[in-house]
Structure 1
Amino acid sequence: MKAHKLNKAKAWLICCEKSQIADSDSSDREVEEHKARNKTKKQLDNKEENKAKDKMEIDVENKVENTTENQVDKTEDKVRSKTQGDIENEVENKVKNQRGKIENKLEVKTEDDVKIESQADEVENKERNTTEGDVENKMENKVENKVENQIDKTENKLETNTEDDVKNKVEMDKTENKLDTKTEDHVEIKNQMENQVENKVGSKTEDNVENEIKNEAENKVEIESNVDKEVDNQEKQENILSTSHTIGVLTLVGAQHGASLTADVTCSDSRELHCMSPMIMATLTVFARLVSSQCAHAKLLRLTGRQPLFAGCDAGLVYGRGAMACMCTDQGYDYDLLVIGGGSGGLAAAKEAVGLGAKVAVLDYVTPSPIGTTWGLGGTCVNVGCIPKKLMHQAALLGEAVHEAATLGWQLDPKSVKIDWESLRTAVQNHIKSVNWVTRVELRTKKIEYFNALGHFKDAHTVVGITKKGEEKILTAKNILVAVGGRPKYPDIPGAVEYGISSDDIFSLERAPGKTLIVGAGYIGLECAGFLNGLGYDTTLIIRSLVLRGFDRQMAIHVAEEMQQRGVKFNYEAKLKKVSKQEDGRLLADWIDKDGQIHQDVYDTVLFAIGRRPLTQELKPENVGLKLVPETGKIDAVNEQTNVPNIYAVGDVLHKKPELTPVAIHAGKLLARRLYGNSTEKMDYTNVATTVFTPLEYGCVGLSEEAAITLHGEQEIEIFHAYYKPTEFFVPQKNVDRCYVKVIALRHGDERVLGMHFVGPNAGEVIQGFAVAIKCGLTMPKLKSTVGIHPTVAEEFTRINITKRSGLDPKPQSCCS
């Protein structure tokens, strides 16, 4: 056994000598080899005797901590930059210069030092010369390949890092000199940290290694079987490190004045991870005291890529005042939650999750529109939806108010009032950019990692992000949230994509839109038509079938008729056939009416608002088996969970769920609480209030009249309704024919309110409060018993008492009775 182990030691010695020969400028290799061997043999017996006689009983752990604290700043960069090749080269190059220093250090070593050194030496040798025959051959080949077959690779590395290496070596020599006067145990740190590749082995000298190899060869027979086990375990770790590409980020967590260190380590196979040597543990304890962190799930050593868990992660040992525990999180993923999409829903979930201790990342990327429009972080609502729409809606209302002001005594010429599109656009875009900035800052503050990359699935836990430059980022997570939202559709007709724009473009349009044709009459089409007309631009709508599909029919007609009275042109049951560009740059639009007649007109802008498509196909759902609804491309999720258990979805990508920003935000928050906060609360998608910001706004909550009849039957519901006159409409003599409220309730029992609808000024502000009441189970008796605030438009709900079934006139006779 002794002879067998001695042969291993000799094999490693030969490896070291070969490496020295490869990097040395000496022309006589054989002389150097014999020198190294002879010198080590001569010193073998003397140093063994000196070690046994001159031992000092010094607390190794305290010295290690004190030494490390003094030297950490100087050695930290060296530790991280070392490779196994660097270690071997530096060990060999230090032979001639460090013999005297090693002798002094070895003279003052304690008996414990000798034991630890012997164990460390055995670890060092067994890492390279495994006890099993087949592993031994593998390691011998590995040694020879490193010295002989990969010299060029090593030389290239050394060439690119020569200056840094020289500086590092000079600093290491200084460190050695300081250690000579302050502690004799720095060598132990080097020996024990060899297993971590990047630790302080770099400062060990060749002479020290050769002496310790000889010592180990003499003492191997006396080492007990528990040391053999440790060597085997260290061997496995060395193999793991050598096959796992590179060592990732070092993060010391919870290390406030002696707090424990947590190691979350991933590897390239399922072999066990066993705890490191005592000296390493003591050293890391000192490092822990220098770092303060609030993160709940830190990773001390993380290898790149998603790897299987180690089997032995329950092995945790305490050394001195510090502890190292293997706390392998779920499969060693990069993140607990990875959000694809930087819109309102995704960001809400990300912020909620990180507040509950999860590690979160967000991917967001805006593919330019057909005319090249892009925007920043925040999604549709912030950049091309709710926010700019409401601002332009407000600009139109202010223009209307200026004209009305003359009737209330303001001295001005309404004819001189006009909009400056460039100023309006600039003001809107400046506000949007400020929101983008605040959003970015908030992510950094909350420690949410943000990647400006277009993500798609590689597998159920891996997402590939493609940056603007075409670079790939591979990210892994236990849970993935799809919150990619949607983008406007374009019809399949000539000229639509080439010359048309959408809601993605209108709010940042460089030129004034001028005479505009809007194709589509959903809420986006009507809102755009409303503010463009209010800003003074000629506006025409082409409507294939219904206005505001999905809303209460009576209320939708009220809105459309009111817009027509304001000057918006409606072409019902018409279909656009093509768009072409004239020589003057204007657009010629051809459409066909319900009778088959073809019409043409010239416009400055053609805006398509025919619906939106979810960005689910871009995710490559087939890679993970994510099921989509064929007709819509949306995800039919249950409680935001898709058919893939760890993949969730919120927002506009969900099938038959309201495409509203507050819905996505609330669903995202509740999902994060269920995933990371032990909550059981689920999203309630019923009775969600909304408002269409047309010139005369329309707000609603609950069921439409048609839906209530379908669910409960016409004889089981009662429809209360009324027209009303806003006080602010009287003096300017504005039309009040379309100011209308409607309440739908059960006819029997408690007369529970099923739906409320309001057309009039500030509809959104009015309906929000009543949405709370419906959530609380509002009934008609409760509503009628509520005293309203006078004079307001909201009080009309409390005054309502006429039913459609009665046939009575719902128009008011007086404003105050």
Structure 2
Amino acid sequence: MYIKPTNLVYNNLIKRIIFRKSATRTFTNKSIIYNQIGSTTKMHIKDINKPTKNVKAHYEYLVIGGGSGGVASSRRAASYGAKTLLIEGKAMGGTCVNVGCVPKKVMWYASDLATRITHANEYGLYQNVEPKLTKENLTFNWEYFKEKRDAYVKRLNGIYERNLTKEGVDYVFGWARFNKDGQVEVTKSDTGDVDIYTADKILIATGGKPIYPTNIPGYELGTDSDGFFQMKTQPKKVVVVGAGYIGVELAGVFNGLGSETHLVIRGETLLRKFDDIIQNTITDYYVSEGIDIHKKSQVSKVEKNGDGGKLTITLNDGTVISEVDDIIWTIGRRSLLGIGLENVGVKLNEKEQIVVDEYQRTNVSNIYSLGDVVGKVELTPVAIATGRKLANRLFGPSIYKDQKQDFTNVPSAVFSHPEAGSIGLTEKQAIEKYGKANVKVYTSKFTAMYYAMLEHKSPTSYKLVCTGPEEKVVGLHLVGDNSAEILQGFGVAIKMGATKEDFDSCVAIHPTSAEEIVTLR
């Protein structure tokens, strides 16, 4: 005789297992849950195809978004003993680990190495080997490297998950949304079932997503920076649209690996948010390196050529770029929302970013937000630091009750070819803030010693921006090899309020490029 299980039986089972340490992982497969009830129940429930809403669970801290900020904040909260749940829709680590900083830097290394190994002959290496290795005959196995890179990212996903477990954070893979009762509904990524959660405090750290120019005919034939990491083969000819750091970095990677690279930009220079010394140096060098930069241009339409798969790109000035394998839109990012904020009344600004105060508080008393979804300073280390400080304040000892993130003098790097780094105010920003008479600028442009043995040269340019009679350093802008590594150390000095005299009093390390920064005259 078959007895249909009641909802009470099923729900009581869920209640017993939901708070187990591994519940969110061990019991994601329905068949495992049903086995606890009995084989006849298992056969009955398997016939139900529509998603089920399971009983809700309550947490002290619920974090929506498993990116850098969300993971850091949830781990820190759990370390204080807070019962914490982290919800992530795709893979742990967010944009940075999966389709951002990490795989991007790996691709940059490959591209940088491709350039450097062609220098070997001029340093006396492989002199008797024919044909000599040049940029023209260099080959790159994109398929092999993609598989290796993706495996590395997969290992990092696992490390993130294990670290969460070590700290005592429960996590679920699914898409979160506030329902009309103010609860968090999570549609599980694997089963489609819906779980309902409540929490004392909720953090929204959903990050951002790339923008597509939906007003351009044929825009859907292109991809974005996320899609770059899905490319199975290397394009022989590629068009990158956008002058920001993402477009500049991808264009540099393609060019270094031998693809014919076109860069379409609306202005005259790349990296327009950075100091002029970075804009001009990188733009001029990219042109000299063979990247075809279409200045003061915009794409007017994208067309596919028959069944061949090639694209034709038409610009607003009539220029036609034909036989293109891929076009990549890097024209900006927007907050990743669509999570039912209207149901809880969280306020957004005109850019559809979540509005928070200096303590990451939204207008809703128990809801907080940080990272790219807020749009303050969209950098991974900033999200991590902000997330930890928020957890310190909410769940840590009283010494942290007023702790908040300082968003001034944040160092950042652009992994272009060569690298660029920046901290503080640009020269123009300093003049606007302090007045031209109160700003003094020191610059140096030279060729690094590495290139002394080479016919082909790469530029190095440094600028120090100072203000006031004490010449406090308010900005440092670098272009050249190892700029990111150099900037990290100098960033500490500038954060501490160093003056030009402090820089001058530091004995130079010779021979290095960085010694120029402490010997500027």
Counterpart of 1:672? 391
Aligned partners of 1:629 and 1:636 also within 8 Å: no
Corresponding position: 1:582 with 2:297: no
Deviations, residues 766-789 of structure 1 (Å, cap 9, x unaligned)? 000011001111001111111111
Q: Deviation of residue 598 (structure 1)?
A: 4.8
Deviations, residues 753-803 of structure 1 (Å, cap 9, x unaligned)? 1011110001100000011001111001111111111111111100111xx
Counterpart of 1:791? 511
1:524-543 equivalence runs, <5 A: 524-543=246-265
Counterpart of 2:51? none
Q: In structure 1, how many angstroms separate the alpha carbons of the residues matched to 2:19 and 2:255?
A: 60
Counterpart of 1:128? none
Which of 374, 382, 386 aligns to 2:101? It is 386
Counterpart of 2:441? 719
Deviations, residues 17-39 of structure 1 (Å, cap 9, x unaligned)? xxxxxxxxxxxxxxxxxxxxxxx
Corresponding position: 1:702 with 2:424: yes
What letter is aligned with 2:158? W
Deviations, residues 450-488 of structure 1 (Å, cap 9, x unaligned)? 111111112685211112343211111111111111111
Q: In structure 2, how many angstroms separate the alpha carbons of the residues matched to 1:251 and 1:456?
A: 20
Q: In structure 1, how many angstroms separate the alpha carbons of the residues matched to 2:18 and 2:230?
A: 44
Counterpart of 2:139? 418
Corresponding position: 1:778 with 2:498: yes
Distance 1:252 1:592, change over 3 A: closer
Aligned partners of 1:460 and 1:646 also within 8 Å: no
What letter is aligned with 2:112? L
Question: Residue 252 of structure 2 aligns to a residue in which SS?
Answer: helix
Q: In structure 2, how many angstroms separate the alpha carbons of the residues matched to 1:756 and 1:414?
A: 37
Identity of aligned residues (%): 35
Counterpart of 1:728? 450
What letter is aligned with 1:776? M
Q: Deviation of residue 615 (structure 1)?
A: 0.7
Which of 628, 640, 664 aligns to 2:360? It is 640
Counterpart of 2:148? 427
Q: After alignment, is 632-641 or 487-496 more displaced?
A: 632-641
- Structure with bigger gyration radius: 1
What letter is aligned with 1:418? T
Counterpart of 2:172? 451
The structure richer in strand per residue is 2
Deviations, residues 611-641 of structure 1 (Å, cap 9, x unaligned)? 011112x112111111111234343443211
Which protein, 1 or 2, shows the higher relative CO under an 8 Å CA cutoff with sep ≥ 6?
2
Q: In structure 1, how many angstroms separate the alpha carbons of the residues matched to 2:354 and 2:403?
A: 24
What letter is aligned with 1:509? M
Q: Deviation of residue 719 (structure 1)?
A: 0.6
Q: In structure 2, how many angstroms separate the alpha carbons of the residues matched to 1:554 and 1:728?
A: 21
Q: In structure 1, how many angstroms separate the alpha carbons of the residues matched to 2:335 and 2:163?
A: 27
Distance 1:540 1:508, change over 3 A: same
Which of 38, 46, 59 aligns to 1:335? It is 59
Which of 68, 80, 97 aligns to 1:344? It is 68
What letter is aligned with 1:793? S
Distance 1:581 1:745, change over 3 A: same
Question: Residue 391 of structure 1 aligns to a residue in which SS?
Answer: helix
Q: In structure 2, how many angstroms separate the alpha carbons of the residues matched to 1:554 and 1:686?
A: 21
Counterpart of 2:520? 800
Counterpart of 1:440? 161
The structure richer in helix per residue is 1
Aligned partners of 2:182 and 2:343 also within 8 Å: no
Counterpart of 1:484? 206
Q: Deviation of residue 645 (structure 1)?
A: 1.6
Which of 562, 569, 572 aligns to 2:292? It is 569
Question: Residue 368 of structure 2 aligns to a residue in which SS?
Answer: strand
Aligned partners of 2:262 and 2:292 also within 8 Å: yes
What letter is aligned with 1:613? R
Counterpart of 1:553? 276
Q: In structure 1, how many angstroms separate the alpha carbons of the residues matched to 2:144 and 2:303?
A: 30
Q: In structure 1, how many angstroms separate the alpha carbons of the residues matched to 2:19 and 2:95?
A: 38
Question: Residue 334 of structure 1 aligns to a residue in which SS?
Answer: strand
Q: After alignment, is 636-645 or 500-509 more displaced?
A: 636-645
Corresponding position: 1:692 with 2:411: no
Q: Deviation of residue 747 (structure 1)?
A: 3.5
Aligned partners of 1:724 and 1:796 also within 8 Å: no
Listed as ranges, the gaps of 5+ residues in structure 1 are 1-154, 162-241, 254-303, 307-332, 367-375, 802-817
What letter is aligned with 1:665? I
Q: In structure 2, how many angstroms separate the alpha carbons of the residues matched to 1:252 and 1:697?
A: 48
Aligned partners of 1:634 and 1:654 also within 8 Å: yes
Aligned partners of 1:481 and 1:648 also within 8 Å: yes
Aligned partners of 2:58 and 2:197 also within 8 Å: yes
Question: Residue 514 of structure 2 aligns to a residue in which SS?
Answer: coil
Aligned residues between the structures: 472
Question: Residue 163 of structure 2 aligns to a residue in which SS?
Answer: helix
Corresponding position: 1:604 with 2:325: yes
Counterpart of 1:755? 475
Q: Deviation of residue 513 (structure 1)?
A: 2.1
Counterpart of 2:35? none
Q: In structure 2, how many angstroms separate the alpha carbons of the residues matched to 1:365 and 1:402?
A: 41
Counterpart of 2:85? 361
Deviations, residues 149-172 of structure 1 (Å, cap 9, x unaligned)? xxxxxx975x769xxxxxxxxxxx
Aligned partners of 1:720 and 1:744 also within 8 Å: yes
- 4+ residue segments displaced more than 6 Å: 250-253
Q: In structure 2, how many angstroms separate the alpha carbons of the residues matched to 1:633 and 1:665?
A: 19
Question: Residue 152 of structure 2 aligns to a residue in which SS?
Answer: helix
Aligned partners of 2:356 and 2:368 also within 8 Å: no
Aligned partners of 1:461 and 1:477 also within 8 Å: no
Counterpart of 2:184? 463
Q: In structure 2, how many angstroms separate the alpha carbons of the residues matched to 1:755 and 1:377?
A: 35
Q: Deviation of residue 345 (structure 1)?
A: 0.7
Q: Deviation of residue 672 (structure 1)?
A: 0.4
Q: In structure 1, how many angstroms separate the alpha carbons of the residues matched to 2:344 and 2:19?
A: 34
Listed as ranges, the gaps of 5+ residues in structure 2 are 21-53
CA RMSD in angstroms comes to 2.3
Counterpart of 1:69? none
1:168-179 equivalence runs, <5 A: none
Question: Residue 662 of structure 1 aligns to a residue in which SS?
Answer: helix
Question: Residue 686 of structure 1 aligns to a residue in which SS?
Answer: coil
Q: In structure 2, how many angstroms separate the alpha carbons of the residues matched to 1:648 and 1:626?
A: 10
- TM-score, scaled to structure 2: 0.86
Corresponding position: 1:407 with 2:117: no
Q: In structure 2, how many angstroms separate the alpha carbons of the residues matched to 1:359 and 1:696?
A: 46
Distance 1:764 1:580, change over 3 A: same
Corresponding position: 1:510 with 2:232: yes
